[in-house]
Amino acid sequence: MHQLHIFLTTLLAAAAATAIPVGDDVVARLEPRSKTPFAMPLCKGIDIEDATIDELQRWMILKHLSSEDLVSCYIDRIKQTNGYLRSISEINPDALSIAASLDKERSKKGIRGPLHGIPFLVKDNFYTDDKHNTSEGGLVLLGGRYSQEATVVSKIRAAGGVLLGHAALSEAADHRALANFSDGYSTRVGQTRNPYNLTQLTSGSSGGSSVAVAINQAAVALGTETHGSLMHPAAHSGLRSLKSTPGLMSRHGIVPGSFYHDTPGPLARSVKDVALLLDVMSGPDVYDNLTFEALGHYPKDGFASWVKSKDSLKGMKLGLPWNPWWSTNAAINTPGQRELYEGRVKELKAAGAEIYNITYIPNVKTIANPYGFGQPADTPEEYGQLITYNTLLAVAYGEWLQNWKFPKRDERHGMKSLAEMAAWNDAHNSSTGALGNSTWWFNTISGQDFYDNAIATNGTLGDVFWKAFNWGRRTAREAIDGGHAYVLKNGTVIELDALIVPNDNGGGGDSACASIPSYAGYPVASVPVGQNGFDVPCGMCIYGRQWSEATLIRVASAVDDLFQWSAKPKWHNYKTAKGPWEEKWPGYACSHESLDRYACEKE
């Protein structure tokens, strides 16, 4: 009852704060093809459910479907499902006309490339220079405009992609609150829910993008990651994704969280789709100086040429970083998960992969929380990585606001710091954790403790910052690099292709796919492997070394081709108004104390 109350209060608060943009009043009104609730309707007689970019392109080449048809079918799908899931923030009012003109161009001049006419969604922190609002899910930036469109969005448009809409996100990409924080909630759109089990989390912060793809509101969507925000939603929506080395793709025009950790990335149904998008999105940009570090690291023939079948698992060298990610990690110790993950490792072995059980990872005890997420409880304070995220967040908003303009008469005109943003939130009651009333962290409406902590750093890139940052970056890099070097007893070193780690942050388990790659600024990919005990998908993440994205595409595509996991969302609990938060797994407890250290602990 209490939870119901909070959920309704959340919805009412969201509805009062702003008109819910899309699908609020729409119930499943299209004829279902099966007994599954919300079955995907045919598109002009053609089944596009779970279609990949190549499949959609084939229908267009064969002239069975046009881009305009696709846009119109996906918009219908959004209207059919969004009232329940709230994964979409806004539909592009120009999507149909953009598609129509690309259809015309196709018939006159042929296609620009594999993305020609393909509808795509972006998380609502990508600025798009059109009728959309880019708001990061909050109210404080709503109504402002940036100097240029996000470079990666312009690149996809130039390659023929059709921007279909903006997807919901955990407000401010999870940068607004950490303690009083509802995963997947944003003031503007409300609570995004997981179509596999609506009382379960979508996993932030790119959860709107991942849910949208899982439920076929589009075939592909872009998200962003600073610390887990692509890997976690990919796992919980059964999708493929890759978080690159920051700098592989431009971040210009995307509301920033951290200069050294942010990166955009695709959420998709196949590794090939991920690679096709990386090919278009990668490259240097004068507006993002980190992209120049990527020069010389792009694969010559593009990422898509690195997509392989399961045959290339033969002789592939994969490491299991046993301690702690296969031993104490909460994700693998939740009921049923060890059997699932170790079974998958046996399949890889049977398919010809060489599996190395790594028992030594440099620094792992000092940098990695044994349960998965964040740092160990006894990390010296000066090495706390939150220092780096807090400081960089204050810097990031300061820089963003220099080019974010509100109309002259708007009271926010001239707003230039995160402190002013937080004060605006306070003044507009858009800042409270007070509605949430639970010791359970998912159960509260976002406060702004992350903002407050960031403001307290003054954005000072001084000794305190660099000490923590350099320590985190060095120790995490040594852990991943060292993990890739498997040393035999006689001293021979075998260089591994990648490291594999369970990726499930369900039920009090905590994924190990966020923190170490984020601290290191190294890439990580994820593919789905099965479902956890709550009937929600979970994944396996693949750690790589700096700029090893092409290798990660090769490994992820081969592994994915072997597992070929797929399951339609079952919409468990879609009739309940119960808020989406996870129950803990038997045997695990998340106390506030343990969450301060970013992990749930064994009881």
Ligand X SMILES: *[C@@H]1O[C@H](CO)[C@@H](O)[C@H](O)[C@H]1NC(C)=O
Rounded to a whole number of angstroms, the minimum distance from the CB of residue 369 to ligand X is 19
DSSP 523-544: -EEEEEEEE-TTS-EEEEEEE-
The residue type found at 56 is L
* Cβ-based nearer residue to ligand X, 497 or 582: 582
Q: Is 548 a catalytic residue?
A: no
- Whole-angstrom Cα distance, residue 59 to residue 37? 26
Rounded to a whole number of angstroms, the minimum distance from the CB of residue 305 to ligand X is 31
Rounded to a whole number of angstroms, the minimum distance from the CB of residue 582 to ligand X is 6
- Whole-angstrom Cα distance, residue 543 to residue 443? 31
Rounded to a whole number of angstroms, the minimum distance from the CB of residue 562 to ligand X is 18
The residue type found at 227 is H
* Cβ-based nearer residue to ligand X, 56 or 177: 177
Rounded to a whole number of angstroms, the minimum distance from the CB of residue 1 to ligand X is 8
Give the Å distances, CA to CA, from 236 to 132, 220, 476, 507, 584.
27, 16, 25, 12, 16
Nearest to 417 by CA among 375, 454, 368, 365: 454
Task: Catalog residues that contact ligand X under the rule CB under 6 A.
Answer: 2, 21, 90, 93, 131-133, 179-180, 197, 199-200, 259, 289, 322, 357, 359, 399, 428-429, 433-434, 436-437, 447, 449, 457-458, 460, 488, 490, 492, 534-535, 572-573, 582-583
Among residues 186, 205, 282, 430, the one annotated as catalytic is 205
Rounded to a whole number of angstroms, the minimum distance from the CB of residue 444 to ligand X is 6
Q: Assign 66 to helix, strand or coil.
A: coil
* Cβ-based nearer residue to ligand X, 27 or 488: 488
Residue whose structure tokens are 């962003």: 224
User: Please, what's the largest Cα pairwise distance for the chain?
Assistant: 73
* Cβ-based nearer residue to ligand X, 4 or 47: 4
Residue whose structure tokens are 């209060």: 9
Question: For residues 85 and 192, is the Cβ–Cβ distance under 8 A?
Answer: yes
What residues contact residue 10 under an 8 Å CB cut-off, 6+ apart?
Answer: 182, 185, 190, 191, 435, 445, 579
Give the Å distances, CA to CA, from 360 to 16, 321, 363, 478, 510.
54, 8, 9, 12, 21
Among residues 203, 209, 229, 446, the one annotated as catalytic is 229
Residue 589 phi/psi, 5° resolution? -135, 140
- Whole-angstrom Cα distance, residue 239 to residue 230? 10
User: Torsion angle, CA of 368/374/376/378, rounded to 10 degrees?
Assistant: 140
* Cβ-based nearer residue to ligand X, 42 or 485: 485
Rounded to a whole number of angstroms, the minimum distance from the CB of residue 58 to ligand X is 31
* Cβ-based nearer residue to ligand X, 306 or 534: 534
Q: Is 229 a catalytic residue?
A: yes
Question: For residues 197 and 534, is the Cβ–Cβ distance under 8 A?
Answer: yes
Give the Å distances, CA to CA, from 14 to 186, 244, 325, 534.
8, 34, 39, 28
Instruction: Count the residues in the chain.
Output: 603
Among residues 67, 89, 123, 258, the one annotated as catalytic is 123
* Cβ-based nearer residue to ligand X, 132 or 240: 132
Give the Å distances, CA to CA, from 484 to 88, 319, 358.
39, 7, 9
Rounded to a whole number of angstroms, the minimum distance from the CB of residue 585 to ligand X is 10
* Cβ-based nearer residue to ligand X, 226 or 457: 457
Helices (H) and strands (E) in the chain — how many of each?
19, 19
Nearest to 150 by CA among 285, 338, 14: 285
Q: Which residues are catalytic?
A: 123, 205, 229
